[in-house]
Chain A
């Protein structure tokens, strides 16, 4: 089912003019080199944001993140990217606050989707959001020392601000970081550490967030719990939380009264490491965000940095073949991801692993192709700024799939043609046939986990979650990139907003992806032999400025906010590297979706959002 929405795009410059007229004192243009958008006086931020949402039609808050400009203005800055669900470019607005006692009004009343993003900014950047009802640490634990994304905060294994480190290059004298640490571990304690009063408060705050007003110490005491409500911990070790995700659920009988997502169990400091890395260094790290769809992550990051590079003098955009290969890879990734998501949704419904085995069978064929092209099954590290690092090979040698100890050998184009025209459609039809009309699946999923369209937009939901609620918003069409404008495909939409529709929309999207792939094949034939990687710039000097590159990843809108600042000549390292992770922001609505359902449905609702923890926690 698809929808040809009439796209009525909003003009950003006209919108800014309207805003300036309305709030003459509170708004000024961001005139820094390479920056865009407006800087809003933080005292007027809520009013301006309300006007942006209601009067100008930028109803979708894509990203909200903080930047620490230590040494360049010495302030903290919140950067918001608002889009219209009708499509079009972003309205970027910013609010600044001094580094000491940093405080900015919370936008949670305007966009509830700012909830987790503001908590993350508090956790990592130390910006306090006045008016936020639940401002706790989200990725780290309560009691952690400091706010790590501030530029003056140094980790235990700190070596230098920027890579490549002097010790490694050019001499190559590597030592183990453990040997340089007193404790032999990745730890550092503050000077005023008092072990006598040390108690672990990381758990207590989680339960106080339930609004129960009970402390952990009193939980076992019957005097303080005079209710039938029960708190159940699901995760971080739970077979159906898709990784190390944790939900603290308050139950009345079996009905859910409230649900608090607890995350950060896979918080591996992407953004801090990303600021130490060079721009190119970050490419393999993006693979490990959404580790099921690494090609899509590569694409988003490449787009963001290419936006910056295109401002510079020495820049040649990717060739047509490079773009075609990128789309080929990304759409194959989308199929892998959706097959995986459907298989494991069935797992969550109790059909333990048999549907998943069927669903991920064809995945191996696609991974063989990735391995032959990029050298790795999952972590492809394939795209570069200005193309892809290697053309697709002439032949695929499938080492993993030995038959009679013989390595199987295929012609790549034949292999792809068979895969795209026969095997993948067959696999989708098979899933469709087995699952779509299944009585059990319908009973478990129809009407469960309903997310109305207005709420989906307000909560900044993205991807299949948003489109299954009847909002035809797909970045490939709304804010086109690469060669998508010339490709013929529809934006899949479903209207019921329940688990069943989220399952169906994934089938739809696989079919649309196959449709795109069929159009890519002749383009690959046509451009055979064309260069795929123009400028051989391995450590590019990136012009100053900011960029927000976003792609429609299988899980939703994946955005990279990259700031290039500091070095006048054009730095090699990003000043700020932020990932707008769809899995993370889609979880904001989880609590609302689960309210009133049974505890067994939580697992299925979570499965239908399709999160991956590498991206949620980063």
Chain B
């Protein structure tokens, strides 16, 4: 549902007297409630970095997001529904951001604008950069781009409107702000030697204890080069080559190579029997029947036959004519 059409609303199962038609509209409370919320999304006037400039451009005359009911930028978090995190979130800045989020009244939404707010962006490796605001706050919509164009931001905000449309008053998970008691505030991080997330206090303490006990603790897992297993694809490729080739001399050559590889693997297997799974190295005896059977039975994709296809097309054309 995106439009609230009053004429539509009058087409209900409830009989409306003729003299009251046009004066009474019947709808569900959820629809009306969502319609009013989605049509007056008030973003917080809150710019962080480069993306804020595009956010202002979105609000300016050319793109003009007030067409969608989003124009009332509020400087106070108490009056805003939507936090547009428009730019790089640094460790120093995430503390005020979380405080601002906690000051916003429910229902509240977060839109991560741009690469930095979504995941750190180009500055991700920086020592003072938080790799995405979602490490600290729940994010509803991510808008990619560096910076996103105004069109992209409007698209993101319309996506948020659609999300609101889908919420129902009947489902308590959709509207937790009507629950009992105050909502749990997002924990505000602390600026220590590095930024400290209160939710990770236990983990940090455990690591610190391990360090005090003199144990090597993986406070910083230095990356190791990732090793790519190349053996398996090679074997498969060789098998496929044996299967595909028509030239008997070539097939013989490939078969011999396959045999040699299998012997080598077997020798390695004797040295370290646990490391190699038995089924991985197919013997030539196993490989050969597969090679014969493959085109005929299992075949998978039959070979493209141009003649047959042309005949089919011609027949079709003839039928039409």
Interface residues of B in 198-218 (CB under 8 A from A): 200-201, 203-205, 207-208, 211, 218
A275 to B62, CA, bound (A): 39
Produce 1/0 per residue, A275-291, CB < 8 A to B: 01000000011001001
- Cβ A244 vs Cβ B193 within 8 A: no
- Cβ B208 vs Cβ A193 within 8 A: yes
- Does B237 belong to the interface (CB within 8 Å)? no
- Does B147 belong to the interface (CB within 8 Å)? yes
Produce 1/0 per residue, A139-151, CB < 8 A to B: 1110111001000
Produce 1/0 per residue, B45-86, CB < 8 A to A: 111111011101101111100000000000100000000000
- Does B93 belong to the interface (CB within 8 Å)? yes
Q: Which residue of B lies closest to A173 (CB)?
A: B226
Q: Which residues of A contact B182 (CB under 8 A)?
A: none
Q: Which residue of A lies closest to B120 (CB)?
A: A186
Q: Which residues of A contact B63 (CB under 8 A)?
A: 400
- Cβ A173 vs Cβ B228 within 8 A: yes
Q: Which residues of A contact B163 (CB under 8 A)?
A: none
- Does A177 belong to the interface (CB within 8 Å)? yes
Knowing A167-B225, A273-B126, the reply to whether A190 touches B50 (Cβ < 8 A) is no
Knowing A193-B208, A198-B190, A198-B196, the reply to whether A243 touches B49 (Cβ < 8 A) is yes
Query: Considering residues B90, B96, B130, which has the most beta carbons from chain A within 10 angstroms of its beta carbon?
Result: B90
Produce 1/0 per residue, A221-263, CB < 8 A to B: 0000000000000001111000110000000000000000000
Interface residues of A in 8-43 (CB under 8 A from B): none
Which one, A114-122, A153-161, A577-585, is touching chain B?
A153-161
- Does A268 belong to the interface (CB within 8 Å)? yes
- Does B149 belong to the interface (CB within 8 Å)? yes
From B135, B146, B207, A185 is in contact (CB under 8 Å) with B135
- Cβ A244 vs Cβ B131 within 8 A: no
Knowing A143-B192, A158-B222, the reply to whether A291 touches B127 (Cβ < 8 A) is no
Q: Which residues of B contact A145 (CB under 8 A)?
A: 193-194
- Cβ A288 vs Cβ B122 within 8 A: yes
- Cβ A156 vs Cβ B194 within 8 A: yes
Knowing A264-B92, A291-B49, the reply to whether A183 touches B204 (Cβ < 8 A) is yes
A266 to B196, CA, bound (A): 18
Shortest distance between the CB of B65 and any CB in chain A (Å): 13
A614 to B205, CA, bound (A): 35
Q: Which residues of A contact B146 (CB under 8 A)?
A: 379
- Cβ A194 vs Cβ B208 within 8 A: yes
Knowing A194-B208, A268-B126, the reply to whether A202 touches B191 (Cβ < 8 A) is yes
A436 to B308, CA, bound (A): 82
A402 to B56, CA, bound (A): 20
- Cβ A181 vs Cβ B96 within 8 A: no
Interface residues of A in 368-409 (CB under 8 A from B): 377-379, 400-401
- Does B280 belong to the interface (CB within 8 Å)? no
Q: Which residues of B contact A69 (CB under 8 A)?
A: none
Knowing A265-B92, A265-B93, the reply to whether A183 touches B200 (Cβ < 8 A) is yes
Knowing A141-B191, A193-B208, the reply to whether A148 touches B220 (Cβ < 8 A) is no
- Does A604 belong to the interface (CB within 8 Å)? no
From B60, B100, B196, A360 is in contact (CB under 8 Å) with B60
Knowing A243-B49, A266-B88, A291-B50, the reply to whether A190 touches B127 (Cβ < 8 A) is no
- Cβ A141 vs Cβ B204 within 8 A: no
Knowing A191-B211, A237-B46, the reply to whether A186 touches B193 (Cβ < 8 A) is no
Number of A-B residue pairs with CB-CB distance less than 8 Å in the complex they form: 204
A116 to B303, CA, bound (A): 73
- Does B221 belong to the interface (CB within 8 Å)? yes
Interface residues of B in 109-143 (CB under 8 A from A): 116, 120, 122-131, 135
- Cβ B222 vs Cβ A269 within 8 A: no
- Does A47 belong to the interface (CB within 8 Å)? no
A291 to B123, CA, bound (A): 14
- Does B300 belong to the interface (CB within 8 Å)? no
Shortest distance between the CB of A459 and any CB in chain B (Å): 25
Q: Which residues of A contact B158 (CB under 8 A)?
A: none
Knowing A183-B203, A193-B193, the reply to whether A288 touches B124 (Cβ < 8 A) is no
Q: Which residues of A contact B221 (CB under 8 A)?
A: 180-182
Q: Which residues of A contact B272 (CB under 8 A)?
A: none
Query: Considering residues B116, B130, B192, which has the most beta carbons from chain A within 10 angstroms of its beta carbon?
Result: B192
Q: Which residues of A contact B39 (CB under 8 A)?
A: none
- Cβ A177 vs Cβ B208 within 8 A: no
Shortest distance between the CB of A337 and any CB in chain B (Å): 11
Shortest distance between the CB of A189 and any CB in chain B (Å): 6
Knowing A156-B127, A198-B190, A244-B48, the reply to whether A236 touches B93 (Cβ < 8 A) is yes
A284 to B123, CA, bound (A): 11
- Does A267 belong to the interface (CB within 8 Å)? yes
Shortest distance between the CB of A102 and any CB in chain B (Å): 20
A406 to B207, CA, bound (A): 61
From B75, B124, B130, A177 is in contact (CB under 8 Å) with B124
- Cβ A285 vs Cβ B122 within 8 A: yes
Interface residues of A in 34-86 (CB under 8 A from B): none
Shortest distance between the CB of B84 and any CB in chain A (Å): 13
A200 to B56, CA, bound (A): 34
Shortest distance between the CB of A202 and any CB in chain B (Å): 4
A140 to B195, CA, bound (A): 11
- Cβ A157 vs Cβ B191 within 8 A: no
- Cβ A269 vs Cβ B128 within 8 A: yes
A145 to B127, CA, bound (A): 11
Q: Which residues of A contact B128 (CB under 8 A)?
A: 139-140, 264, 267-269
Q: Which residues of A contact B50 (CB under 8 A)?
A: 288, 291, 378-379, 614
- Does A188 belong to the interface (CB within 8 Å)? yes
Q: Which residues of A contact B150 (CB under 8 A)?
A: 400
A288 to B122, CA, bound (A): 10
Q: Which residues of B contact A141 (CB under 8 A)?
A: 92, 191
A602 to B290, CA, bound (A): 82
- Cβ A158 vs Cβ B220 within 8 A: yes
Shortest distance between the CB of A190 and any CB in chain B (Å): 5
Q: Which residues of A contact B179 (CB under 8 A)?
A: none
Shortest distance between the CB of B74 and any CB in chain A (Å): 10
Given A267-B128, A273-B125, A400-B150, 13 further pairs, Cβ under 8 A: A156-B194, A185-B130, A186-B124, A187-B196, A187-B197, A189-B192, A189-B208, A191-B211, A267-B90, A268-B88, A377-B149, A378-B147, A379-B147
A-B pairs, top 6 by smallest CB distance, nearest first, are A269-B126, A145-B193, A291-B50, A155-B127, A268-B123, A265-B93
Which A residues contact B (CB, under 8 angstroms)? 139-141, 143-145, 148, 154-159, 166-167, 171, 173, 175, 177-178, 180-195, 198, 200, 202, 236-239, 243-244, 264-269, 272-273, 276, 284-285, 288, 291-292, 353, 356-357, 360-361, 363-364, 377-379, 400-401, 613-614, 617
Offer 26 A-B interface pairs, CB within 8 angstroms, sorted by A. A139-B128, A141-B92, A155-B127, A171-B226, A182-B203, A182-B207, A193-B193, A198-B196, A200-B191, A243-B49, A244-B47, A244-B49, A267-B92, A268-B90, A268-B123, A269-B125, A273-B123, A273-B126, A288-B122, A291-B50, A291-B53, A377-B54, A377-B149, A378-B53, A614-B49, A617-B90
